[in-house]
């Protein structure tokens, strides 16, 4: 039985003070969660978030990292910097990073390896555009993204990686893949991982991340392949985020 994981991706929202206030609202609502709960906050929010999260059951995540340990990379953040601040999870390869900031399958793979080397749990994003889905062949594209991200990893390491299936056409648009569409896509990703790493694919947690919210989370979480959610807009509203956490917790036997 894979333990579900609900991770909030705050994106470029919340000042440190606002973030700490939101965490204080979330903490009592998810204190009894049976799933893993994570908030992935902007870099400048990390110290305030770490302080607010102290003693709680909520993990701290970042939204990116650089694959080099240090050097002349102005504006970048290293794994060691994040680790010293108490970060445990890091989002890698989000479609916004790929689309706006030229992330590639190669850089995603390097970042996954750097995250694992630092002891983080990587949350690796994959997903197709609307044009790719409508043109056909999206299955091979998404499977290829997953395989590229995991290239060169050991079987034991792969089981620690979380993949988030985020169809680009459903991120921030209000559109959501149907429960069946999301489950099918995640099954395809798991099959691709199995081709590379065998039984480790059954241990890997794969989330859905395309506009999961308080209204649709129960149906999505009821699917047999879906192990949680990477939550955008709903993560900025404590009651909505708590509802999603409760739906994930309800699937734990």
The phi and psi torsions of 173 (rounded to 5 degrees) equal -100, -15
Confidence at residue 187, expressed as pLDDT on a 0 to 100 scale: 97
Q: What is the pLDDT along the chain (253 residues), one digit of tens a residue?
A: 899 999 999 999 999 999 999 999 999 999 999 999 999 999 999 999 999 999 999 999 999 999 999 999 999 999 999 999 999 999 999 999 999 999 999 999 999 999 999 999 999 999 999 889 889 899 999 999 999 999 999 999 999 999 999 998 887 777 778 999 999 999 999 999 999 999 999 999 999 998 899 999 999 999 999 999 999 999 999 999 999 999 999 999 8
CATH number at residue 240: 3.20.20.70
Confidence at residue 211, expressed as pLDDT on a 0 to 100 scale: 85
Confidence at residue 207, expressed as pLDDT on a 0 to 100 scale: 97
Give catalytic residue positions: 94, 166
Residues, the chain, total?
Answer: 253
* Tally of structural domains, the chain: 1
Indicate the SS3 state at residue 206: strand
98: domain range?
A: 5-249
Neighbours of 191 (CB within 10 A): 14
Confidence at residue 118, expressed as pLDDT on a 0 to 100 scale: 97
The phi and psi torsions of 194 (rounded to 5 degrees) equal -65, -35
Confidence at residue 145, expressed as pLDDT on a 0 to 100 scale: 97
Burial class (CB within 10 angstroms; exposed 0-12, middle 13-18, buried 19+) of 223: middle
d(CA 12, CA 221): 26
Q: Residue 207 half-sphere exposure, CB side, CA atoms within 13 Å?
A: 35
The CA-to-CA distance between both ends of the chain, in Å, stands at: 9
The answer to whether the CB of 125 falls within 8 A of the CB of 230 is yes
């Amino acid at each position: 039985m894979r333990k579900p994981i609900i991770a909030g991706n705050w994106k470029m929202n919340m000042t440190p003070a606002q973030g700490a206030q939101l965490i204080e609202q979330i903490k009592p609502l998810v204190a009894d969660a049976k799933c893993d709960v994570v908030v992935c906050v902007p870099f400048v929010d990390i110290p305030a978030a770490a302080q607010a999260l102290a003693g709680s059951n909520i993990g701290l995540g970042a939204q990116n990292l650089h694959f080099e340990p240090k050097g002349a990379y102005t504006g970048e953040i290293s794994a060691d910097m994040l680790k010293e601040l108490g970060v445990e999870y890091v989002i890698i390869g989000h479609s916004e990073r790929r689309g706006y900031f030229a992330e590639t399958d190669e850089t995603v793979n390097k970042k996954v390896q750097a995250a694992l080397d630092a002891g983080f749990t990587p949350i690796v994003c994959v997903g197709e555009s609307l044009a790719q889905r409508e043109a056909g062949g999206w299955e091979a594209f998404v499977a290829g993204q997953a395989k590229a991200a995991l290239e060169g990893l050991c079987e034991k390491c792969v089981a620690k990686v979380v993949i988030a299936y985020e169809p680009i056409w459903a991120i921030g648009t209000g559109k959501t893949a149907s429960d069946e569409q999301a489950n099918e896509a995640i099954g395809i990703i798991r099959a691709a991982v199995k081709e590379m790493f065998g039984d480790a694919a059954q241990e890997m947690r794969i989330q859905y991340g395309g506009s999961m919210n308080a209204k649709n989370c129960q149906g999505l979480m009821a699917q047999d392949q879906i192990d949680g959610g990477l939550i955008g807009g709903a993560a900025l509203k404590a009651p909505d985020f708590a509802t999603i956490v409760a739906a994930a917790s309800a699937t734990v036997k």
